[in-house]
Amino acid sequence: MINTLTFKRIAASGAAAIALVCAAAPAQAQLHINLIDQGGVTGSASEQGFKIAAAYWESVLTNNVTVNLGVKYAALGSGIIGSTSSPKFGVAIQDVEDAMIANGNSALDAGLVLPALTGSGNVGSPFGTVGTIDMIRNGPQGVGKLSNVKIYDTNDTKDNGTVSGTRANLKALGYVLPTATVDAAVTFSTAFNFDFDPTDGISAGYMDFIGVAIHEIGHALGFTSGVDTYDAYGPLGPNGSVTTINWDINTVGNILDLFRYSNDPTNLVPGSGAVLDWSYNTASYFSIDGGASQFDDGSLFSTGAYNGDGRQASHFKDTASPGGCNGYNQIGIMDPTFCYGEMGVISGTDLAAFDAIGWNINFDVLGNKKYTINTDAIFRNVTGVPEPMAWGTMLLGFGVVGGFMRRRRDQKSGALLAA
């Protein structure tokens, strides 16, 4: 089933209630990630690796929320290096946009262009009548087998009025959620070699544990796309033969998809210019100005593991050029591939995406688009190992060309697989 669990924000009056929550946050508010050992972590090298990865996110995200993250170091299936799972809740787009406005505190937030609520419709319980948006997606309209034919969906049904978000992302936006032991869970395989200390580089034949953990936590925090659902039900996907789903009455898009645009390459939409685009196998990109430009002139998304470019859509575009195993040649840590010997690098574009979906960043990302930091600097900062450069300074790149690993995710879980 691709139906997400529907949940309406518990609030007295929409944005105003969330604004009050934000106003009550302490002056030095920050994210707290509570690591919960679900097996094999305590006392192992991975324990410190998870703590350092969590500490990085805690150092840059200032929302006053706690994210309970299950972590596990255990045997996984053949070829699986790591996996992440996070339950999602369906929420009204109008509520999400209200929350983004109430919660925003940055220059990026102040100029953020949200999709216009062009219509309204009764999208069913528990939402009732809500504002709706228009977007390109894969057809059909209504019931039927998903196809490569793209449609411009303007019919004000549930897929136009709702999106889903991870528990952590919704917490950041001020939602009150049903109680759960964990908000997300990350598991790493004991069958692969990981380098837990990047201060002397990442050894050949080893994966950067901290870099991969930062990436996986990023998915739990909300870097996900409903385009992966359309892709999975497309002709080449594992669910490509399903013919009984009514696509109008399902929540498919994710919160990040509110910033997923294309230049309408098939000219579906009247007029010219950018359009919200949730179809697979389309040159879509992350944009904070309503599609007028790609963030930092280079923020393409991957287009689908089955019917697209071979990479899941819940990532930035894979680096195809020579040097792709150098983290500084990638759009960011949310790139879909990770090489042996490669040191992870977080970019300003990574953080801009998290800023847009509701996380507050402790510096001006819009004014520092070229921000980068690698796991060497992160390790040194957290553990107190002396480093020659400051935390936020742009660092020289490091990368070793080698076989790559492919991160794989679906709507409920993700796995890092060997190529």
Q: Residue 28: what pLDDT?
A: 60
- Indicate the pTM of the whole model: 0.88
Give 321's pLDDT tier (boundaries 50, 70, 90). low
Rounded Cα distance between 310 and 65, Å, is 35
According to DSSP, the β-strands at 372-374 and 32-37 are unpaired
Give mean pLDDT, residues 324-334: 92
Q: Residue 79: what pLDDT?
A: 62
Q: Residue 322: what pLDDT?
A: 65
**Between residues 385 and 252, which one has the greater pLDDT?**
252
pLDDT tens digits along 332-342: 999 998 888 99
List Cβ<8 Å contacts ≥24 apart for 326-331. Answer: 326/397, 326/398, 326/399, 327/211, 327/374, 327/397, 327/398, 327/399, 328/372, 328/397, 328/398, 328/399, 329/397, 329/399, 331/298, 331/299, 331/300
**Between residues 322 and 120, which one has the greater pLDDT?**
120
Range of the domain at 28: 5-418
pLDDT tens digits along 349-387: 999 999 999 999 999 999 999 999 999 999 999 998 764
Q: How far is CA 381 from CA 51, 95, 342, in A?
A: 12, 38, 20
**Between residues 409 and 69, which one has the greater pLDDT?**
69
List Cβ<8 Å contacts ≥24 apart for 328-336. Answer: 328/372, 328/397, 328/398, 328/399, 329/397, 329/399, 331/298, 331/299, 331/300, 333/211, 333/214, 333/215, 333/218, 334/215, 334/218, 334/223, 336/302, 336/311, 336/312, 336/406, 336/407
**pLDDT at position 91 over 90:** yes
Q: Residue 37: what pLDDT?
A: 96
User: What total of structural domains would you count in the chain?
Assistant: 1
Give 24's pLDDT tier (boundaries 50, 70, 90). very low
Please give the order of strands across the beta sheet that includes 413-418.
32-37, 66-74, 184-189, 80-85, 413-418, 404-409, 337-339
Rounded Cα distance between 73 and 59, Å, is 24
Which range among 7-11, 94-98, 247-251, 285-289 shows the weakest confidence by mean pLDDT?
7-11
**pLDDT at position 169 over 60:** yes
Q: How far is CA 137 from CA 106, 152, 224, 254, 318, in A?
A: 31, 7, 16, 13, 22
Nearest to 215 by CA among 409, 395, 410: 409
Give 324's pLDDT tier (boundaries 50, 70, 90). confident
Give 189's pLDDT tier (boundaries 50, 70, 90). confident
pLDDT tens digits along 384-398: 876 443 333 222 222
